[in-house]
Structure 1
C-alpha cells in the first residue's frame, strides 16, 4: 500500500477521519474547533461518503448544549455520532456528557483545547476546558501534533466501540488545530480494518427501538443508585489495555507506534518531566540537545490522561530517576495541585511499597495558559530546577509572577539551532493576504518536495487590521518545534511601518535574508529605515532586498 502525504492543519486532519467513520455529526461553531465542523459540512455537501458507503448527516444546532443533546439522541438510535467543540462550548455539553457516559455509550468528542473565560475571555489554547470535564466519565486522549491528531481520531473511535466508554480526544487549540504540517494520511482500508463491523452492529443493537424494548434513563432511589454507579468500574479498568491493543493494531496496519505513556531520553536519566499534548515535542527536542551536553534527562509523554493507568505509568519511569516535574497546562485555583500532578503523586504514593527504585521528589508546575509560549529555554530551566536540593513546587514558567513569586527564571538567549531546517518569518497586516499566501506556500513545499514542512500563524483575536506573523519551517528531518521561531534565516516585512514600532530584525540569523515591501524608490530605501534596522542589517551581514508590491 503506497503512502500518501499531505500538508494540512490539525483540524482538517481530524475532520477527515471523523467524517469517514461516523454517520451523524452535530455541530455548533466555536473557535478554534470550528474548521472541523466546516470541513465535515463541506465533505457531505460534496457527497463524500464514509467507509460504510453512506453519506454522514450534518446537523447544525443553535448551541453547544443542543449539539451534545443531538449527539445523545442520535447515539440512542444506534448511529455512530460525533461532535467538535472547545472552551465554554465544551462546558455546555457537560449535562449530556454525564448521561452518555453513564449509559456506557460509544462516541468520541473531538476538542481543540482552549482557555476558559475567567478574569477575561481568551480564544487561545490550554487545557482548562478538558480538565473541567474529568468528572463526567469520558476518557481523555491527548494528541501532541497534527499526525497524532489524525491517527488518534481513528484509534479513539475503535477503542470506544470496544470499551463502551466514551472518549474525548483533544489537542492544543491553535498550536495543533491551526498548525499546517506534512502528515501521512490513513487509507480507507486501514480505517475499515480498525472499525470492527461486529462492534458497530453491537452498538446498533443497543439502540432504543419499539422492536426491541427495554428501559433506560430511569429515576433511581437510594436503594439502588449507589450500586449502579459502581457497576461501571470494570469497564473503566479495561480501557487502558483496550486502548493499548488498538494502538498496537494501528501500528501493525499503519507503521506508527504509540503507547499510553511514551518515554524519550537517557536510559539512566535522573530528572524527568511528565507532560502531555503539543509541549511534549518541545521537551523531546530539548532533551535530545541536553543529553548531548552532559545532562541525564528524559520526558514521559502522556497519551491516556484518564483513566490514568498507574501500572503503565510506573513501568515507564527510568529506575535511575531522582526527581520529577509534572507540568499542567491549566490552573485550578484553590487546589493543592493540577490534575496531572495529582495523578502522578497518587500513583507513586499508592505503589510506594512495590517501587523498584527510591521514591523520587515530585514537583508540579503550570505553563502555557492561553497559548503562552513554551520554549526549550523554559524546558532547560525546569531541568536545572530539578537538580537543586529543594526545587520549587507549584511553580509557573513563561511569566514573571512578581505577586506570589511562583515563576522560574529562564535564559531567553538559550535557543536550539536546527542545522537541517530553514526558518522564515513573514510580517503582514490582518486580511492583507500574507497568512493565506504562506499557507499555500507551506502546502506546496510539503506536497511537491521531499521536505518536512510546518506553518504556524500568529494573530490576535481582532484578526483583521492588526499585525500577523507567519512562522514557516521546512527541512529534511521531522519538525518537532511546537513553539515560535526564535532565530530566522529569512524575514519578510510586508508593512514598512512595523519597523518603526518593533526591532524585528533582532531575531534574524547572521548572514540571513531580509525582504521589505516598501513604496520608496531604491535610492531612498536605506534612508527610510529606522536606525535600529540599519544597525541590525550591518551587524548581522543581512542580504537586504526591497520590493514595491503595493
Structure 2
C-alpha cells in the first residue's frame, strides 16, 4: 500500500523534480517560489537524487538568466529543470524556442498565474502557459496535488524518451498551495520511470570538446525551412511517448492517466472540455448530475501540446451533441480562446476525415476562473444547463456579471453536491498572525493521524501581511475533489474580533454548526459588544457559540500577538476530530517541529499556550434576541467619493465578486487616494501617547510602515475646538519652537496594525535597569505604551479626525 503524505502541490512537485534533476536554475516568483526553495533546502541538507548525487541549485539574476542557464546546462548534458510563473515564464520564452529547437530534454514546472494586463494580479489562471504554446515545448496539465506529483514524473520520463522539452503546469495557488492527502511516489518508483538508455543517449548528444560538434548556426533561405520542418517526426511521436510513460506509471502505482480522460455518462449528449483544477470541480458535478439521470460528461485535457487530435476525438462519446470548451485565459481579439480553437479544429478534422464516431456537434466557448476567481459546482451546472437551452450563450464568462457584452452565466445556488460525512471548516485570520501556518499543521495532523482524506486551501488578499486570510479545511472518509471555497461550514472561527463589524464571517456557517470567536470579552460579556446583525445570525442558525481570549493567553505566555497556537488548540478541542489527549500531544509535537529552529524557549511558550487554551474556552449561552448595542458601521464614510462607495467599498467588504464588468475601469486607470477610506481595524492593541514623557524625537512617526502614527507642530490657536481628550505638549527643541508652540503625536486607531514598532523605537519606552538587581524591567512611565484598541477607539477616532485638520 502506498505511503500517504499530506502536502501542498508545490512541495509534491519539487520532491519529484529534485529526484530527477542534476541542475536547477532558479529565480523566485509567486506562486512558484516554494518549489525552488524546497529544492534549495534539499540540496543544502545534502539530499541525493536517484543517481546518488546532490543536484546543483543556482539562483540567477532573473528568470531570463535562469532560462539561459537551463539552455546552457542541457546543452552540456546535464538533466536540468526550473520553476516559474507569469511574467517570469514570459522572460524565458526566447530561450524556450532554442531549447525546443535543439530537441533538448528539460522540464519547466509552472504554477500557472495571471499575466499583468489591465492590472497586476498574482493569482492563478493559464494566461502565462498559453503564451508559450507556440515555443515547441510539450505542455502537460495537472488538475490536483496528486496529479501534479504524478505528472511531474511523467514529464521527467517522457522528455528523455521524446527528445522534446516539457512545460508541466498546474494552477497557481489553487493547486500549488492547496494541501492534500496523497499517495507518495518513492525513489524506487521514480528510478523505474526514468529510461537510463535515454539518459545515456542524451549525454552522448551533449556538446563535448572530446567529441566536438556545433549548435547555434545561422541558416539562410535555401535550407532554414527544411531545418524547421525536420523536428516534426519527434512531435508526431511525442503523444505516444507520453502515453507510454503514463502507462508505466499506472503499472507501478495503480493510478491511470491518458492524454485525454473522459468521465461521465457513456451516452452523454452534453460534454465539457477543460484542463487544470477546474476539472476536479467539473468531475464531481458530472458525478452528481449523472446520478440524477442527466446525460453529461467531461473530457480532461492532460497533454495540451502536442495536441493529439485523433486521441481527443476518440475520447468524446459517440452520442455527443453539444460541446462546451472552458478556457482559463482570455485572448482578446481572437475568434476564440486557445483550447476552444484546438477543439474546434480537432473535431472538424475528425468529422471531415471520417474518424469521428459522431456527427458535427455544436461547440460553445467559455472562460472561467481568471485571477483565481472561484469556480464552483453551481457554475459548472450552469455551463451544462446552458447547453440544453434553445439559444445557448456562446463565448461567455462564467461566475461574473458581464453586463457589457451580456454574455455570462451565473450559478444556481440551489444546486448542491452531496458530500456525505465530509466536514468543512473556515478560519478568518490576519495575514502573518500565524492562522494559515497553524491550519496547515492542523490539516497535516488530520491527514496523518486519522483515516480521513484532508484538504486545506488558504485564501489571501494581495496585502498578504496584515490582510484578510480565510483558511478552508475539509476532511472526510472519501476522496476530496473540491478545489473551491467552503460554503457550508461545520466549524467557523474568527480570529479577529473587529472582523465582526467588517465582514459577514458567518455567511457560510451551517445551521447548528460551531462558531469560535477570539474575544477580549468573556462569555458573560461578549453579547453586549457584537453587532446586532451578527447576533441575529447566531440566533437564526442556532449556532454553538464559544469564545476564548486568545490575545490574553498569548501575552501571558510571552507570545505577543501570535494567537494561532491558542486558537488551533481550541479548534481541536471543540471539533473532537481526535481524542483531546492525543490532539494535545500532536499539537505539541507540531509546535516543536515548526519552531525548534527558533529555540526551545519559543517551543515551550507554544506548549504553555496549548495547555492554557484547553481550560480557557467558554461557551456562550445567548438570549433569543440581539442585545441592541449597535449595528454594523458602513464600510466607508458618508463623505467618500462615489467611486469609493460603489467599487472600493465592495472590495473592502470582501464582496468584490459581486461587482459587474461595467464597474471596473477598462484600461486599469483608477482614482488615487482611495486607501484612506479603508479602515482595517485589525489591531488588538494600539499605542497611547504620554506627552509629559515624550522627548519629541519623531522616531515613532518615522518608523511606522503605515503612517498610522504621526507628529505635527502647530500654533496654540489651532487647538480651538479640540476634543476634550485631545493631547498636546509644548514644543521643546529650538527647531520645533520655530514652527509652532504646540505639538502632538497621534495614532489612527483604525489604521494601526498593532506591530509595536513605534514602541520599540521610542527611546522613552525602553526597559529600565533595576539599580538593585541589574535586571531589565518594563519602563513604568513610557512615552508610548500599547493599550486595548477597543477601549480607546471611539475617542481616538475623534482625535485623529481633528489631528488631520491641523495645519
Normalising TM by the smaller chain, what interval?
A: over 0.9
Task: Give CA-to-partner distance per residue, 1:268-304, whole Å, 9 cap, x none.
Answer: 1110100001000100111111122231111001100
Task: Give CA-to-partner distance per residue, 1:391-446, whole Å, 9 cap, x none.
Answer: 12111101111112221233234332412211000001111111110000001111
Mapped to 2, the partners of 1:388 and 1:523 lie a distance apart of 56
Residue in 1 that maps onto 2:666:
none
Mapped to 1, the partners of 2:523 and 2:341 lie a distance apart of 62
SS at match of 1:135: coil
Deviation (angstroms), 1:309: 0.6
Mapped to 2, the partners of 1:70 and 1:129 lie a distance apart of 21
Residue in 2 that maps onto 1:117:
116
Mapped to 2, the partners of 1:113 and 1:149 lie a distance apart of 12
Task: Give CA-to-partner distance per residue, 1:61-90, whole Å, 9 cap, x none.
Answer: 000000000000011110000000000000
Residue in 1 that maps onto 2:366:
365
Asked if 1 retains the 8 angstrom alpha-carbon contact of 2:522 and 2:547, the reply is: no
Mapped to 2, the partners of 1:228 and 1:539 lie a distance apart of 72
Mapped to 2, the partners of 1:504 and 1:60 lie a distance apart of 42
SS at match of 1:92: helix
C-alpha root-mean-square deviation of aligned residues, in Å?
0.9
Mapped to 2, the partners of 1:482 and 1:182 lie a distance apart of 14
Asked if 2 retains the 8 angstrom alpha-carbon contact of 1:27 and 1:59, the reply is: yes
Asked if 2 retains the 8 angstrom alpha-carbon contact of 1:415 and 1:486, the reply is: no
Task: Give CA-to-partner distance per residue, 1:91-120, whole Å, 9 cap, x none.
Answer: 000110000000000011000000000010
Matched, 1:222 2:237: no
Asked if 2 retains the 8 angstrom alpha-carbon contact of 1:366 and 1:394, the reply is: yes
Deviation (angstroms), 1:10: 0.4
Residue in 2 that maps onto 1:279:
278
SS at match of 1:445: helix
Residue in 2 that maps onto 1:392:
393
Deviation (angstroms), 1:185: 0.8
> Measured at CA, do residues 409 and 522 of structure 1 come closer, stay the same or move farther in structure 2, by a change above 3 Å?
closer
SS at match of 2:525: helix
Mapped to 2, the partners of 1:136 and 1:444 lie a distance apart of 43
More divergent stretch after superposition (443-452 vs 78-87): 443-452
Mapped to 1, the partners of 2:413 and 2:357 lie a distance apart of 38
Deviation (angstroms), 1:356: 1.9
Q: Which runs of 4+ in 1 moved over 4 A?
A: none
Mapped to 1, the partners of 2:319 and 2:24 lie a distance apart of 48
Mapped to 2, the partners of 1:487 and 1:34 lie a distance apart of 32
Matched, 1:445 2:446: yes
Mapped to 2, the partners of 1:149 and 1:320 lie a distance apart of 32
Asked if 2 retains the 8 angstrom alpha-carbon contact of 1:367 and 1:397, the reply is: yes
SS at match of 1:356: coil
> Measured at CA, do residues 25 and 213 of structure 1 come closer, stay the same or move farther in structure 2, by a change above 3 Å?
same
Mapped to 2, the partners of 1:191 and 1:292 lie a distance apart of 38
SS at match of 1:156: helix
Residue in 2 that maps onto 1:545:
546
> Which structure has more RCO (C-alpha within 8 Å, separation ≥ 6)?
1
More divergent stretch after superposition (171-180 vs 539-548): 539-548
SS at match of 1:134: coil
Residue in 2 that maps onto 1:466:
467
Mapped to 2, the partners of 1:184 and 1:267 lie a distance apart of 29
Task: Give CA-to-partner distance per residue, 1:208-232, whole Å, 9 cap, x none.
Answer: 0111111211000000000001111
Mapped to 1, the partners of 2:347 and 2:423 lie a distance apart of 43
Residue in 1 that maps onto 2:478:
477
SS at match of 1:223: coil
Residue in 2 that maps onto 1:379:
380
Deviation (angstroms), 1:197: 1.1
Mapped to 2, the partners of 1:547 and 1:259 lie a distance apart of 51
Residue in 2 that maps onto 1:80:
79
Task: Give CA-to-partner distance per residue, 1:319-372, whole Å, 9 cap, x none.
Answer: 111100000000001000011100110011111131222211000001100000
**TM-score under structure 1 length normalisation:** 0.99
Deviation (angstroms), 1:5: 1.1
Residue in 2 that maps onto 1:505:
506
**TM-score under structure 2 length normalisation:** 0.67
Residue in 2 that maps onto 1:411:
412
Mapped to 2, the partners of 1:293 and 1:512 lie a distance apart of 28
Asked if 1 retains the 8 angstrom alpha-carbon contact of 2:393 and 2:408, the reply is: no
Mapped to 1, the partners of 2:414 and 2:173 lie a distance apart of 25
1:138-177 residue pairs with structure 2 within 5 A?
Answer: 138-177=137-176
Matched, 1:436 2:437: yes
Residue in 1 that maps onto 2:90:
91
Residue in 2 that maps onto 1:15:
14
Task: Give CA-to-partner distance per residue, 1:483-535, whole Å, 9 cap, x none.
Answer: 00011000001111111112221211111101111011221112222112111
Residue in 1 that maps onto 2:2:
3
Asked if 1 retains the 8 angstrom alpha-carbon contact of 2:398 and 2:410, the reply is: yes
Deviation (angstroms), 1:462: 1.2
1:38-437 residue pairs with structure 2 within 5 A?
Answer: 38-353=37-352, 354=354, 355-437=356-438
Mapped to 2, the partners of 1:289 and 1:537 lie a distance apart of 31
Mapped to 1, the partners of 2:410 and 2:2 lie a distance apart of 45
SS at match of 2:273: strand
Asked if 2 retains the 8 angstrom alpha-carbon contact of 1:503 and 1:532, the reply is: no
SS at match of 1:522: coil
More divergent stretch after superposition (210-219 vs 405-414): 405-414
Mapped to 1, the partners of 2:449 and 2:207 lie a distance apart of 50
Mapped to 1, the partners of 2:475 and 2:52 lie a distance apart of 38
Deviation (angstroms), 1:387: 0.5
Mapped to 1, the partners of 2:537 and 2:476 lie a distance apart of 26
Asked if 1 retains the 8 angstrom alpha-carbon contact of 2:428 and 2:505, the reply is: no
SS at match of 1:243: helix
Residue in 1 that maps onto 2:701:
none
Asked if 2 retains the 8 angstrom alpha-carbon contact of 1:30 and 1:85, the reply is: yes
Task: Give CA-to-partner distance per residue, 1:36-73, whole Å, 9 cap, x none.
Answer: 00000000000001000111001100000000000000
Mapped to 1, the partners of 2:48 and 2:237 lie a distance apart of 33
Which ranges of structure 1 fall in alignment gaps of 5 or more residues? none
Task: Give CA-to-partner distance per residue, 1:145-181, whole Å, 9 cap, x none.
Answer: 0011101111111101000010000000000000011
Asked if 2 retains the 8 angstrom alpha-carbon contact of 1:25 and 1:71, the reply is: yes
More divergent stretch after superposition (61-70 vs 442-451): 442-451
Q: Report how many residues are paired.
A: 549
Which ranges of structure 2 fall in alignment gaps of 5 or more residues? 552-807
Asked if 1 retains the 8 angstrom alpha-carbon contact of 2:351 and 2:358, the reply is: no
Mapped to 2, the partners of 1:127 and 1:192 lie a distance apart of 31
